[in-house]
Structure formats: structure tokens, C-alpha cells
Structure 1
Amino acid sequence: MADNYTTEAEILLVGFNTTWEQGVIVFIAIFTIYLLTISANILIISLVRANRRFHKPMYFFLSNFSFLEIWYTSATLPKMLTDFLSKKRYISLKGCIVQFYFCAVLGSMENYLLAVMSLDRFIAICYPLRYPILMNDKACVQLAGGVWFMSFMSPLLPVVFLSQLSFCGPRVIDHFFCDFSPLMELSCTRNSISEISYTYIARFIILGCFTLIMVSYIFIILTIVKLPSTSGRQNAFATCTSHLTVVFIYYGTVIFIYVCPYESLSVNKVVSVVYAAVTPLLNPIIYTLRNQEVKAALKRVIIKLKELERATVN
């Protein structure tokens, strides 16, 4: 049993059952994804801050979203990467609860930010004349601050009650990070306040934000259809496609895990890798490839770098 190998305050993270050779291959793949994710999101943040054209609400929230993605991947992937090359896949109980809390905070923040970004697009397209007034700098900062505050507060109650539970052995989590359901499997108390509150809070945030996003886009689409010119309709919809693509990719995995959980742990782990590692990499790529302004800015940066390189060589 795992209790023979762990101390009272340690939990074994099973992760993925791989051979050493397979672990090295997966390590290289995940590490590459992690580096690309960090680099791509830092690039977007740098472009938004350096280019005055991007000093708009849409890009302000996009830079917040990119900053979130950096921490979102960093909350799980470094530990996961270490475990692929280590025989001691242990984490302290307190460390496990702390990791779960920050994963919950960052997951909540992603939901809130996607909802705020849809609200921004809704006002921009449905009320274009009032957009500069409603979405001024002060309003954007207040919305972003509200997102951060609500994200840190949302999982606080379940985590406080979770930390007060007693945990029965064997302390083994069949996952690559400390998520709520695997942690509750170790608890001696089921249907506790922690479990009930987390279930309702998670579903309220996920389904509430997703519903708000879908309602916003219903009104957006109805407004776009009524536009007189074809080019106007295309331009209006072009500003939304990137965000809508990210929404469907993200909620396709999150709803599967947290709203309609599948009984197979192996399937849940694979889906968790998608939203923990793959989705944060896809998001900056989607926003870059689907956004003409970002593509143009990237081209200008590449041209300047080439000119700088030529000047250095000469």
C-alpha cells in the first residue's frame, strides 16, 4: 500500500503510467508546449503594451487573458514535468490543497474573463456609439479588478472547509495534479460542506459564464445580420471569431470535467491535459492567426528584427 512509502503528510500523485523512455518523450513534448505557451503569451502582452493601436478595451482584456494563461499552465505543468522524470511523485497535503486553490482561482478567472470579453464585444457591436463611454479606461480597470477579486474569493469557502477535513489512507491521487474530486476521494467525510459548496460554485461559474457568453453572441449575431453592408458584417464578425473559437474549445473540455464528469479517471486525465496544456497554447495562436491587427504588428516586429540583425552583421 502507498502508506508504506509516504509519510503522514504526503500524497502520491500517480500521474501517467509510462516507462522511462515514454516519460522522457512525453516530458519533451509537454516541456515544448509549456515553453511555447509562455513565449506566445508574453509576446501578446508585449505587443499590446508596446503598440498604441492596441490600447483598446479588447486588447486590454486580451493581455489580461494572456497573463492568466501563463500562470494557468504554471500551476500544474512544472510539477507534472518533474514527476515524469522522478520516481518520487509525492506532494505534501498542504501543498496539494494550495495547488488546488490556485488552479480553482485561475480556472474561475478564465471563465470570468471570457464572459467580460464577450460583454466587451456585445457593447462594441450592439451599442457602438455608447461603446467609448461605457468601456472607458476606468470601467476596464474596474472590470479586470472585479474579475481578479471574484476569482480569488470564489473557491475560498470550499478550500477552507477542505483543509479542515480528515483524510483516510491510502493517500494516492490518480491524477497529475491536485484537483477537487481526487482530493475528496481521500476524505473520510463525503457530502461535506466543502464538496457541496464546490459543486454548486463550480457549476454556477462555468454554466453562468457560458450562458452569459452565449446570450451575448445571440444579440451580437442578430445585430450583425441587420448591418446593411456585407463588408460591415464581415468586419464585425471577424472581431468575434477568435474569442468564440476559444470559448468553444475551453468549455468543451471544462464542462466535460466539472459539469458532466466522466467516470473513467484515465479519460478525465487526458481531457485535463487538453485544458491544462494544449488549450493555453492554442489561445494565443488563435488570437494571432484570426486577428489582422495582431498579424500586422507581428510582421512589423519581424521586419524590425531582420533589419536590426542586418545592421549588426554589417
Structure 2
Amino acid sequence: MAVRNETRVTHFILLGLSSDPELQIIYFVLFVVIYLLTVAGNLLILVTIYMDTQLHTPMYFFLSHLSFLDLAFSTAAVPRSIVNFVTQSKIISFSECIAQVFFLHLLGGTECLHLVLMAYDRYVAICNPLRYTTIMNRRVCVLLVVSTWVGGLMHGFGQALPAAQLSFCGPNEIDHFFCDARPLSLMACSNTFISQNADIINSGTLALSSFLVLSISYGHIISTILRIRSTEGRQKAFSTCAAHLLVVALFFGPLVFIYLRPSVTFAGDKLISGFYTIITPVLNPFIYTLRNEKVITSMKRLRGRQVSLVGRHIK
């Protein structure tokens, strides 16, 4: 009985965004600056909301959780890429690669559901303002956030487990700057029917159900706003939703292009993936703070307290 020799891949090489050394330095500087801004911006929102009791409302509770998700989501992909830009060895082990797939989809799936939750919060606030505090009480808010993590956990396992079952016999070069289920399935030498269909069903169900709930919520919201007689009231209502709609568009647009299409690769896939893993997390704090007077005022108060404390300490 003939024995078949087969080399099993135990590690992968992340090719990154470019093999040009000069471009890698540019990408390194760019990624470092953007990541530091992401950390600073999202931590500032978290600290501001935590410190200011006037912001201890459901809307800002959900906003602080979004900032945490953006920070964690970016951290799951960016630091490893930064290291790879300045090192010769771009090796990532099989277990580390699968772990990155899991955490990216856990956090990405949770953020997707959390954006839907924020839309529901705006729906209740605008369409049922008199019952808002009763419906969106502390216990309900916590349970809703926990439910988004449960959904994200299911999505993460749904992407990582099928990928972990694949066999790889070479090549082991991933033309990306992070590990993902789709590039892995395209490299596998075993049957990828289950993993590819799991990817389509998992991502498709999450995206389509989220889009349906978002559409229904904002359909009711817009209908309610248009019935408001006061121009000032309509503008105020629209302004509370505009930032969230922009964040939804920035988050879902690239995801739909990457995951809700056939399993083929395009030259721009890496750049589009970079948009929702790098650009969106750094933009969200600016989108919400620049259009939110309460957050800006709270940040000024917090800064005033720090200056006062420093002055007292010096004296």
C-alpha cells in the first residue's frame, strides 16, 4: 500500500499591502498614526461618558460601547500589521491565524448588531418619546448589549471553526495584511464546500437581517420626523440620526462588497478591508463628537477639571 507524502502547512506568511520597502515604511507610519488616533479618540469618548453623570443615558451608554468595540476591532488587526511592515519575518502560526479570524469576526459581528441596537434606541426615542425611559431602562440596555455579544460570538465561531477544519499543503502565502476566512478557504487543499457555504450563510444572514431591522427602524423614524410640525424639532431629530446613519454606511458598505459576493479576489480587496478595520474605527469618534454638543461640552468640563486639579497640585 503506497503511502502518500503530504506536507502540512503549520504557519502562513502575510504578504501585507506591498512588497516595496519604501511603501512599507509609508504604510508603517500611516498605520501607527491612525492607530494612535483610534486609541486616543475612542478612549476619550469612553472616559468622558464614564466621568460625566449627565451622559449616563441609554444613547451614550451605547455610544461608549461602540467606542470600545471600535478600539478592540482595530487592535485585533492593526498592531500585527504594523509589526509586519518593519520586520523581514511576516510569519503567523496556524493557531494565531485562526484566533485572528475568530476575534475579528466576533468583534465585527458584535459591532454590526450593536449598530442595529443603536438604530432601535433612536426608534424608541423618536417614535415613543414618552415611554423611552420605561422601555430603555438600565436592565434592558445591558441585556440588549449582552445579546449583541452572543450574536457576535456565534458569528465568530461560525467563521473560525470551518476555517480551522481546512487542510493546507501549500502555498502558505496569504495576500492580505490579516487572516480572514475567505483567503484561507481559497488556499486550502481540502474540500472547501462547507467553509465557503458557512461563510456565505453566516455573513449573509447577519448582514441581511441587520439591514432589514435598520430599514424598518429608519423607515418609522423618518415617517415620524416628517410629521413633526416644528422645523426646529425636525432638525433636532434628524441631527440625532445623521451621525448614526453615516457610521452605518461606512461600516456596512465595505462589508457588503467583501463578504456578500462570490469567492473571488479583487485587487482592491485589501484596501477595502483596510477601510472597515482601520479607517472606520478612527472616524467614528470624530463623527459622533463633532455633531454632538453634549459630548463636546462634557469634554470641555472634563478638561476644566483637569486644569483645576493640576493648578491645585502646583499650589
- TM above 0.5, one fold? yes
Deviations 1:188-209 (A, max 9, x none): 2344222211211101111211
Q: Secondary structure at the match of 2:49?
A: helix
Alignment check: 8 A CA contact 2:289 2:296 kept: yes
Question: 257-266 or 188-197, which moves further after superposition?
Answer: 257-266
- Separation of aligned partners in 2, 1:217 and 1:282: 22
Q: Partner residue of 1:218?
A: 219
Q: Partner residue of 1:3?
A: none
Q: Secondary structure at the match of 1:168?
A: coil
Q: Partner residue of 1:111?
A: 112
Displacement, 1:252? 1.5
Deviations 1:244-300 (A, max 9, x none): 110111111111111136955430001111111111000011000011111111222
Deviations 1:166-191 (A, max 9, x none): 11311111000001111001212344
Cα pair distance change 1:200/1:238, threshold 3 Å: same
Q: Secondary structure at the match of 1:91?
A: strand
Q: Secondary structure at the match of 1:228?
A: coil
Amino acid at match of 1:224: I
Alignment check: 8 A CA contact 1:157 1:194 kept: no
Displacement, 1:159? 2.3
Q: Partner residue of 1:240?
A: 241
Alignment of 1:1-314 (within 5 A): 8-260=9-261, 263-309=264-310
Cα pair distance change 1:184/1:7, threshold 3 Å: closer
Cα pair distance change 1:225/1:92, threshold 3 Å: same
Deviations 1:21-47 (A, max 9, x none): 322222111111101101111111111
Q: Secondary structure at the match of 1:86?
A: coil
Q: Secondary structure at the match of 1:129?
A: helix
Question: 234-243 or 134-143, which moves further after superposition?
Answer: 234-243
Cα pair distance change 1:261/1:241, threshold 3 Å: farther
- Separation of aligned partners in 2, 1:120 and 1:31: 34
Q: Secondary structure at the match of 1:223?
A: helix
Alignment check: 8 A CA contact 1:125 1:236 kept: yes
Alignment check: 8 A CA contact 1:159 1:194 kept: no
Alignment check: 8 A CA contact 1:165 1:187 kept: yes
Q: Secondary structure at the match of 1:11?
A: strand
Percent identical across equivalent pairs? 38
Cα pair distance change 1:261/1:80, threshold 3 Å: farther
Amino acid at match of 2:114: L
The alignment covers a number of residue pairs equal to: 309
Cα pair distance change 1:262/1:225, threshold 3 Å: farther
Computed over aligned residues only, the root mean square deviation of the Cα atoms, in angstroms, reads: 1.9
Displacement, 1:132? 1.1
Displacement, 1:310? 5.2
Displacement, 1:108? 0.4
- Separation of aligned partners in 2, 1:261 and 1:125: 39
In the alignment, structure 1 segments of 5+ residues that lack a partner are: 1-5
Deviations 1:114-147 (A, max 9, x none): 0000000001100111111111000001001111
- Separation of aligned partners in 2, 1:187 and 1:264: 15
Q: Secondary structure at the match of 2:112?
A: helix
Q: Secondary structure at the match of 1:130?
A: helix
Alignment check: 8 A CA contact 1:158 1:193 kept: no
Amino acid at match of 1:173: I
Amino acid at match of 1:28: V
Q: Partner residue of 2:3?
A: none
Question: 136-145 or 190-199, which moves further after superposition?
Answer: 190-199
Alignment check: 8 A CA contact 1:41 1:70 kept: yes
In the alignment, structure 2 segments of 5+ residues that lack a partner are: 1-6
Alignment check: 8 A CA contact 1:262 1:268 kept: no
Displacement, 1:210? 2.0
Alignment check: 8 A CA contact 1:168 1:187 kept: yes
Deviations 1:90-122 (A, max 9, x none): 101111111101111111011100000000000
Q: Secondary structure at the match of 2:169?
A: coil
- Separation of aligned partners in 2, 1:289 and 1:121: 19
